[in-house]
Amino acid sequence: MTRKNKRYGDEHLFSLRGRMIAAFAVFTVLVLAILWVFQTVLLDDIYRTLKLNDLQKCADVIERDAGTPETVGTVADGLAKKYTVCISAYEITGNGPYKNGRLLSENHVNSFCFIHNVSSSDLLNQLYRNASQNGGEYLHRMSLASMFRGGHGERKEDAGENVIYVKLIPTEKSELLILLNTELLPLDSTVGTLRVQLLIISGILFAAAVAMALIFSARLSKPIREMSGEASKLALGNYNVNFDGGNCTETVMLSSTLNRAAYELSKLDKMQKDLIANVSHDLRTPLTMIAGYTEAMRDLPGEATPENMQIVIDETNRLTSLVNDMLEVSRYQGGTQVLHPTRFNFTEVIRTTLERYGKLREKDGYTIRFEADRDVFVEADEGRILQVVYNLINNAVNYTGEDKTVVIRQTVRNEGGTDKVLTEVIDTGIGISDEDLPLVWERYYKVNDFHKRANMGTGLGLSIVKNILLLHGAEFGVNSKVGHGSNFWFKLKICE
């Protein structure tokens, strides 16, 4: 069993469904735990804090908005209704230990309020004293049960709490004594109800979480399972596959990547098959010629002419260059090719090469024109750069149009402070479609079907050109338009 296969049996692997159920369950437990803590454990504390805050807030508003005995009643009325708080306001006058308390306003909101019973001036004085000794405010708490013990003994012990907040507000002539009262009712029954509710909610939430996890995981895993099925087919060499990513962005992205990969793989496969056909065809053609001619020369008298021998030599040379090209490309691919750079007159080298090459081609009616701004020197591997120029010119001659003209142009330009020489090989031939343009640099790539093209080349020339220029760190490219011709170009740094 391979390592990859072992992964499927790995005990640390979980299905998407299992993971989602676990995640939903953990989330539900977390939500319930938070609800539980807030609704049962902390409920009483939160309730008390809010109620006491209300008292404090009312007292603050009265102090801010009603600093006089005349206005205190109106403000207290509004607050009592809004916060369900009983408010009584007294004006305290008099000197020394004997004070007079005059009732200014009174609001009865809570039924068991304590401050309504502050009828005795002793009690009022007591509250006043406590507040003034305590910096102007005083909080008094008493259980409701203790209030009604005796006469109203029917109240239970845990009947709740009465909270009285006393606030002293100094005015110009006197002092305002504000009494605020609220009831803190026992929450036991509420907590009990909430607990039962929470139990029911827990059950519902758990069921919903498991159902949602099952639905979501099924939806999510369906396209993944289908894609993995298609990928297995692809692994077996079946390129007729279609990856459907469902309707999740991520799975759709994955499916489109896989579809692209399948398309590229099928193209690669086709190219490989073409390559075998091309190479065997290319090797067979000269071999058949050589075999045919040599047999004829051996068997037929008078056939061993210099012309026939030349054909055998030419075919042998063609075979050699083909094999050399293949070797060279594999060397570039293997990264073993090294450059031997020297400084040379690039313009001069092209000029002399073209003189020789041009003469050969002129016989077939080709015109090869060379245009250059001025002579430039570069530092590069002269032999390899010449190979680039040769390959490009050969292609241009092979694919040029009716006018049989090829132009080689050298222009000097300054790019980012560096002088560079742009070399262009221009033809007016069939051109290359936008679709094929990026692929022509790949080895064994031929735009047209190989039967028609087999005599022209092996599909290795531009791959060699690309590798040489990449080794030189040179920019290169091609501009082409179908029916109008191509312009293959590369740039080298000038070295003065």
Residue with the CB atom nearest ligand ADP in the bound state: 457
Round to the nearest angstrom and report the end-to-end CA distance of the chain: 64
Q: How far is the CB of 389 from ligand ADP (least distance, A)?
A: 13
**Contact positions with ligand ADP (CB under 6 A) in 337-396:** 395-396
**469 binds ligand ADP, rule: CB under 6 A:** no
Q: What is the CA radius of gyration of the chain?
A: 49
Backbone angles phi, psi at 295, to 5 degrees: -65, -45
| Six-digit token string for 458 | 């092996």
**426 binds ligand ADP, rule: CB under 6 A:** no
**169 binds ligand ADP, rule: CB under 6 A:** no
For residue 465, give every residue at least 6 positions away whose Cβ sits within 8 Å of its Cβ, in sequence order, or none.
387, 388, 391, 392, 441, 476, 488
Q: How far is the CB of 417 from ligand ADP (least distance, A)?
A: 32
Q: How far is the CB of 397 from ligand ADP (least distance, A)?
A: 9
Q: Which is nearer to ligand ADP, 223 or 457 (CB)?
A: 457
Q: How far is the CB of 322 from ligand ADP (least distance, A)?
A: 10
Q: How far is the CB of 455 from ligand ADP (least distance, A)?
A: 10
DSSP 438: G
**429 binds ligand ADP, rule: CB under 6 A:** yes
Q: Are 183 and 110 in contact (CB under 8 A)?
A: yes
**406 binds ligand ADP, rule: CB under 6 A:** no
For residue 479, give every residue at least 6 positions away whose Cβ sits within 8 Å of its Cβ, in sequence order, or none.
486, 487, 489
Q: Which is nearer to ligand ADP, 69 or 459 (CB)?
A: 459
Q: Which residues does residue 170 pair with via DSSP β-bridges, in sequence order?
A: 175
Q: How far is the CB of 3 from ligand ADP (least distance, A)?
A: 40
For 12, 268, 271, 352, the CA distances from 220, given in Å and listed in that order, are 21, 32, 36, 68
Q: What's 313-353 look like in SS3? A: HHHHHHHHHHHHHHHHHHHHHHCCCCCCCEEEEHHHHHHHH
**430 binds ligand ADP, rule: CB under 6 A:** yes
| Residue from the set 458, 468, 474, 490 that interacts with ligand ADP by CB under 6 A | 458
Candidates 11-19, 90-98, 114-122, 460-468: pick the segment binding ligand ADP (CB under 6 A): 460-468
Could you tell me how far CA 323 lies from the centroid of its own chain?
A: 47
Q: Which is nearer to ligand ADP, 56 or 479 (CB)?
A: 479
Q: Which is nearer to ligand ADP, 197 or 280 (CB)?
A: 280
Q: Which is nearer to ligand ADP, 449 or 496 (CB)?
A: 449
Q: How far is the CB of 446 from ligand ADP (least distance, A)?
A: 4
Identify the CA nearest to 126 among candidates 138, 114, 135. 138
**Strands 100-107 and 377-380, sheet pairing:** unpaired
Q: How far is the CB of 386 from ligand ADP (least distance, A)?
A: 16
Q: Which residues does residue 480 pair with via DSSP β-bridges, in sequence order?
A: 486
**432 binds ligand ADP, rule: CB under 6 A:** yes
For 62, 383, 388, 479, the CA distances from 400, given in Å and listed in that order, are 99, 25, 18, 14
| Residue from the set 21, 457, 490, 491 that interacts with ligand ADP by CB under 6 A | 457
Q: Which residues does residue 183 pair with via DSSP β-bridges, in sequence order?
A: 162
Where do we find the tokens 């009174």? 106
Candidates 48-56, 163-171, 340-348, 441-449: pick the segment binding ligand ADP (CB under 6 A): 441-449
Q: How far is the CB of 491 from ligand ADP (least distance, A)?
A: 18
**31 binds ligand ADP, rule: CB under 6 A:** no
Q: Which is nearer to ligand ADP, 453 or 493 (CB)?
A: 453
| Residue from the set 39, 445, 493, 494 that interacts with ligand ADP by CB under 6 A | 445
Q: Which is nearer to ligand ADP, 286 or 459 (CB)?
A: 459
Q: Which is nearer to ligand ADP, 183 or 427 (CB)?
A: 427
DSSP 38: I
Identify the CA nearest to 187 among candidates 84, 55, 46, 85. 46
Q: Are 115 and 179 in contact (CB under 8 A)?
A: yes
| Residue from the set 138, 165, 346, 399 that interacts with ligand ADP by CB under 6 A | 399
Phi-psi category of residue 84: left, alpha or beta, with phi > 0 → left and psi -120 to 50 → alpha: left
Q: Which is nearer to ligand ADP, 422 or 495 (CB)?
A: 422
**459 binds ligand ADP, rule: CB under 6 A:** yes
| Six-digit token string for 398 | 């092979």
**427 binds ligand ADP, rule: CB under 6 A:** yes
Give the total of residues touching ligand ADP (CB under 6 A).
Answer: 23
Q: How far is the CB of 430 from ligand ADP (least distance, A)?
A: 5
Q: Are 161 and 141 in contact (CB under 8 A)?
A: yes
Identify the CA nearest to 136 among candidates 85, 89, 176. 176
For residue 226, give every residue at least 6 positions away whose Cβ sits within 8 Å of its Cβ, in sequence order, or none.
243, 244
The site for ligand ADP (CB under 6 A) is made up of 395-396, 399, 427, 429-432, 440, 445-448, 453, 456-463, 486
